[in-house]
Amino acid sequence: MIRTSLTPRTNWQQQFESLGFSYHSIDGLYWDERYAYRFTAEQIDTLEQASLDLHQMSLQAVEHVVKHGMQEKFAIPPAFWSQVEDSWRAKEFSLYGRFDLSWDGNGAPKMLEYNADTPTGLVESSVAQWYWLQDVHPDADQFNSLHEKLIEQWKKFPGLGLLHFACAGGNEEDEGNLSYLRDTAIQAGFATKQCAIESLGWDEDEGVFVDDADSRIDNLFKLYPWEWLCREDFANHLLKRPMRIIEPAWKMILSNKAILPILWELFPNHPNLLPAYFDAWRISGNHVKKPLYSREGENISIYANGEVMHTGGDYGAEGFIYQAYAPQPKFDDGITPAYTSIGAWIVGDEPAGIGIREDETLITKNTSRFIPHYFVE
């Protein structure tokens, strides 16, 4: 795994905007092709196998949580416990997820967390870096089968009728990811409609959710976290199971950082896992304190080598877990030093590629730069 320096293409902004990747320069610099990461085929095999193993272990952890009635540890509202269990027992359809890994190309990749409910970064991981590869390294390959696998996974969705797509209105990045996922569903043969989640309403007479045109919603893909959804004013209507929701309710377990101590309990000393606990006193040495629901690097505390790093945010009231510290690898060319995180994608139950993020700090945030990758035999 080598970080290489490159000269950016002259027309990349126009190319990406034509592909729907309009938020390529949020906060001034997001997509960054001044660099690329080069892997060997063997390293890609390692990432693929680690993703597969971690996903299968995570599913076993969900089964363990449901079987032993441990949903309280995940700060899931009690009213939704039975819905989560029923969703899991029914094996309700799941589309995708993304592991965040710490790895420098040597040894075993370490799982930091599983973004299994509302992961973003799809457009850049799937489409943008593939177009970059064709222009910059056409003779190389890339760990990237996201587009094809998303289409094939949609074909397994059992819902009939119109498929609605919703996210919070006014968020360009979320709307871009949602539009891309909607496009893959269209290519899989679905009729679709995209709208802001704020525009959805409840028809009391019919007992159904409706969109901004008062059309019934039977199937909803929501790029909106379950932990927010089940605390909205209309949340009690969700208990009536009026529609199919993607991602399903059982993802409330899989996407929660409480899954990390469960994984360590079930698979102690697994090479892809880090020690993790619910109680601070059980962990010693360098470690990270994480809220159960934290997103985009908020409210994280790193205790390492006698120093403490905190990030602000709105999370923490739901509780914390404590995970051993696995520092992100640092790459430094003397111009733009960066700590690197690898996002490993899962579609259905299969590994589907990676996306790489860089930041000047040890904590990856929503504005951390996206760097393309390639590999050679």
Q: Give me the pLDDT at residue 265, please.
A: 98
In this structure, the strands spanning 244-246 and 276-277 are unpaired
Q: Give me the pLDDT at residue 312, please.
A: 85
Count other C-beta atoms under 10 Å from residue 132's C-beta.
24
Q: Give me the pLDDT at residue 310, please.
A: 87
Q: Give me the pLDDT at residue 367, please.
A: 80
Question: Residue 298: what residue type?
Answer: E
Q: How confident is the model at residue 324 (pLDDT cuts 50, 70, 90)?
A: very high
Domain count, the chain: 2
- Which residue would you say has higher pLDDT here, 87 or 361? 87
Q: How confident is the model at residue 298 (pLDDT cuts 50, 70, 90)?
A: confident
**319 with 334, same domain?**
no
Q: Give me the pLDDT at residue 110, please.
A: 98
172-216 pLDDT tens trace: 999 999 999 999 999 999 999 999 999 999 999 999 999 999 999
**108 with 162, same domain?**
yes
Q: Report the distance separating Cα 297 and Cα 290, nearest Å.
A: 9
**177 with 92, same domain?**
yes
- Tell me the average pLDDT across 248-275: 97
Radius of gyration of the chain (CA): 20
Q: Give me the pLDDT at residue 319, please.
A: 93
- Tell me the average pLDDT across 39-57: 98
Q: How confident is the model at residue 63 (pLDDT cuts 50, 70, 90)?
A: very high
Residue 365 has pLDDT above 80, yes or no: no
Q: How confident is the model at residue 354 (pLDDT cuts 50, 70, 90)?
A: very high
**277 with 237, same domain?**
no
Q: Give me the pLDDT at residue 24, please.
A: 95
Question: Residue 332: what residue type?
Answer: D
Smallest Cα–Cα separation from 349: which of 52, 69, 63? 52
- For residue 75, give every residue at least 6 positions away whose Cβ sits within 8 Å of its Cβ, in sequence order, or none: 227, 256, 258, 292, 293, 318, 319
**284 with 334, same domain?**
no
Residue 69 has pLDDT above 90, yes or no: yes
101-113 pLDDT tens trace: 999 999 999 999 9
Sheet holding 219-223, edge to edge: 192-196, 163-167, 219-223, 244-246
At which of 281, 298, 324 does a domain end? 324
**186 with 283, same domain?**
no
Q: Which domain holds residue 152?
A: 2-256+329-376
The residues that bridge with 371 in the sheet, in sequence order, are 356
Q: Give me the pLDDT at residue 314, please.
A: 86
**336 with 298, same domain?**
no
Q: Give me the pLDDT at residue 361, please.
A: 83
Q: Give me the pLDDT at residue 58, please.
A: 98
**250 with 278, same domain?**
no
**76 with 102, same domain?**
yes
For residue 59, give the DSSP letter. H
140-171 pLDDT tens trace: 999 999 999 999 999 999 988 999 999 999 99
**198 with 301, same domain?**
no
Q: Report the distance separating Cα 250 and Cα 71, nearest Å.
A: 10
**74 with 202, same domain?**
yes
**160 with 289, same domain?**
no
